[in-house]
Structure 1
Amino acid sequence: MADQSIIRITKELGELQKNADLSLAVACRDTDVRNIKAIIIGPHETPYEFGFFEFSFKFHREYPRKAPGVSAITTNGGRCRFNPNIYASGRVCLSILGTWRGEPGEEWSAAQGLESILLSIQSLMSSNPYENEPGFEDANGPQDKKYQKEYVQKIRHETLRISVIQRLEQYLQIGPDGKVNVAPASSDDYDVDFESLEGGATFEPFKDLFKRRFLWYYESYLAAIHKASQEVQEGQAFSRMPFEGSGNNMEGVFHYAQLERRLKNIKRVLDEEPVQWAAQGTLPAQQEETVAVNLKRQLAQVRENYKQHSIPHNVELENGNPFVWVFTYFGRPMTNMDGGLFRIRINLSSKFPEEQPRVKFETSLFHLRIASDGTPCYWPPPNKRESMQAHLDAIVEMLEEESPPYDPRTLVHPEAFSLFWGSDTQKKQYRQRLRRSVQASIE
Structure 2
Amino acid sequence: MSNQAILRLTREIQQLQQGTDLSLAVHYDDSDIRNVHALILGPPDTPYQFGFFEFSIKFGRDYPTHPPNVQALTTNCGRCRFNPNIYATGKVCLSILGTWRGTREEQWSSAQGLESILISIQSLMSSNPYENEPGFEVASSEHDKRNSEQYVAKIRHETLRLAVIEPLEASLGITPPSDANASLSDNEERELLEEDKPSPVPFADLRKRRFLWYFSAYMQSIDAAMLEYPRKQKFTRMPFEHGNNSMDGHFDYAELKQRLVVIKSALVGEGSNWSAEGLAAKEQEWGIAVNLQRQYEQIMESMKSQNNFTIGLNLVDENPFVWKLTYFGKPMTHLDGGVFEIDIHLSPKFPEVQPRVSMRTSFFHVRVSPDGVLCYFPQRSEEMRYHIDGIVAALEEENPPYDPRTAVNPEASRLFWGTPEDRRRYNRELRRSIERTMG
Which TM-score bucket, shorter chain as reference? over 0.9
The alpha-carbon distance between structure 1 residues 121 and 18, as it changes in their structure 2 partners (threshold 3 A), is same
- Matching of residues 12-411 of structure 1 within 5 Å: 12-177=12-177, 186-188=190-192, 192=196, 203-283=200-280, 286-312=283-309, 313-381=311-379, 384-411=380-407
Shift, 1:192, TM fit? 3.6
Q: Name the residue aligned to 1:197.
A: none
The alpha-carbon distance between structure 1 residues 317 and 440, as it changes in their structure 2 partners (threshold 3 A), is same
* Offset from partner CA, 1:387-436 (integer Å, 9 cap, x none): 10000100111111111111011131100010000000000110111111
State the one-letter code of the partner of 1:386: E
* Preserved contact between residue 76 and residue 162 of structure 2 (Cα < 8 Å): yes
Specify the SS of the correspondent of 2:372.
coil
Pair 1:434 & 2:430 matched: yes
Greater alpha carbon shift after TM alignment, 304-313 vs 388-397: 304-313
Aligned length in residues = 428
Greater alpha carbon shift after TM alignment, 136-145 vs 96-105: 136-145
* Offset from partner CA, 1:121-144 (integer Å, 9 cap, x none): 111000100010111134221000
Shift, 1:437, TM fit? 1.1
For the residues of structure 2 that align with 1:107 and 1:358, how far apart are their CA atoms? 43
State the one-letter code of the partner of 2:70: V
* Preserved contact between residue 34 and residue 58 of structure 1 (Cα < 8 Å): yes
* Offset from partner CA, 1:369-395 (integer Å, 9 cap, x none): 1001110111212xx111100001001
* Preserved contact between residue 367 and residue 434 of structure 1 (Cα < 8 Å): yes
State the one-letter code of the partner of 2:301: E
Shift, 1:282, TM fit? 2.1
Specify the SS of the correspondent of 1:419.
helix
Shift, 1:315, TM fit? 0.9
For the residues of structure 1 that align with 2:32 and 2:376, how far apart are their CA atoms? 31
* Preserved contact between residue 281 and residue 348 of structure 2 (Cα < 8 Å): no
* Offset from partner CA, 1:127-178 (integer Å, 9 cap, x none): 1000101111342210000000000010001000001000100000011249
Specify the SS of the correspondent of 2:262.
helix
* Offset from partner CA, 1:208-250 (integer Å, 9 cap, x none): 0000000000001111111111121210111100000101000
* Preserved contact between residue 56 and residue 70 of structure 1 (Cα < 8 Å): yes
C-alpha RMSD of the superposition: 1.6
* Preserved contact between residue 41 and residue 52 of structure 1 (Cα < 8 Å): yes
Q: Name the residue aligned to 1:7.
A: 7
Specify the SS of the correspondent of 2:60.
coil
Normalising by structure 1, we get a TM-score of 0.94
For the residues of structure 2 that align with 1:97 and 1:85, how far apart are their CA atoms? 12
Specify the SS of the correspondent of 2:136.
coil
**Runs of 5+ unmatched residues, structure 1:** 179-184, 195-201
State the one-letter code of the partner of 1:436: R
Identity rate, percent: 54
* Preserved contact between residue 73 and residue 193 of structure 1 (Cα < 8 Å): no
**Runs of 5+ unmatched residues, structure 2:** 179-188
Q: Name the residue aligned to 1:198.
A: none
For the residues of structure 2 that align with 1:287 and 1:344, how far apart are their CA atoms? 27
Shift, 1:206, TM fit? 0.4
For the residues of structure 1 that align with 2:281 and 2:222, how far apart are their CA atoms? 45
Return the structure number with greater relative CO, CA threshold 8 A, min gap 6.
1
Q: Which runs of 4+ in 1 moved over 6 A?
A: none
Greater alpha carbon shift after TM alignment, 144-153 vs 372-381: 372-381
* Preserved contact between residue 170 and residue 197 of structure 2 (Cα < 8 Å): no
Normalising by structure 2, we get a TM-score of 0.95
Pair 1:413 & 2:415 matched: no
For the residues of structure 2 that align with 1:266 and 1:45, how far apart are their CA atoms? 23
* Preserved contact between residue 359 and residue 376 of structure 1 (Cα < 8 Å): yes
Specify the SS of the correspondent of 1:322.
coil
For the residues of structure 1 that align with 2:323 and 2:29, how far apart are their CA atoms? 32
Shift, 1:440, TM fit? 1.6
Specify the SS of the correspondent of 1:220.
helix
Specify the SS of the correspondent of 1:275.
helix
Shift, 1:189, TM fit? 5.2
Shift, 1:204, TM fit? 2.4
Shift, 1:335, TM fit? 1.9
* Offset from partner CA, 1:46-91 (integer Å, 9 cap, x none): 1000000000110111111110110100000000000000000000
For the residues of structure 2 that align with 1:81 and 1:192, how far apart are their CA atoms? 17
Specify the SS of the correspondent of 1:408.
coil
For the residues of structure 2 that align with 1:326 and 1:58, how far apart are their CA atoms? 44
For the residues of structure 2 that align with 1:223 and 1:191, how far apart are their CA atoms? 31
For the residues of structure 1 that align with 2:245 and 2:228, how far apart are their CA atoms? 25
State the one-letter code of the partner of 2:153: Q
The alpha-carbon distance between structure 1 residues 237 and 28, as it changes in their structure 2 partners (threshold 3 A), is same
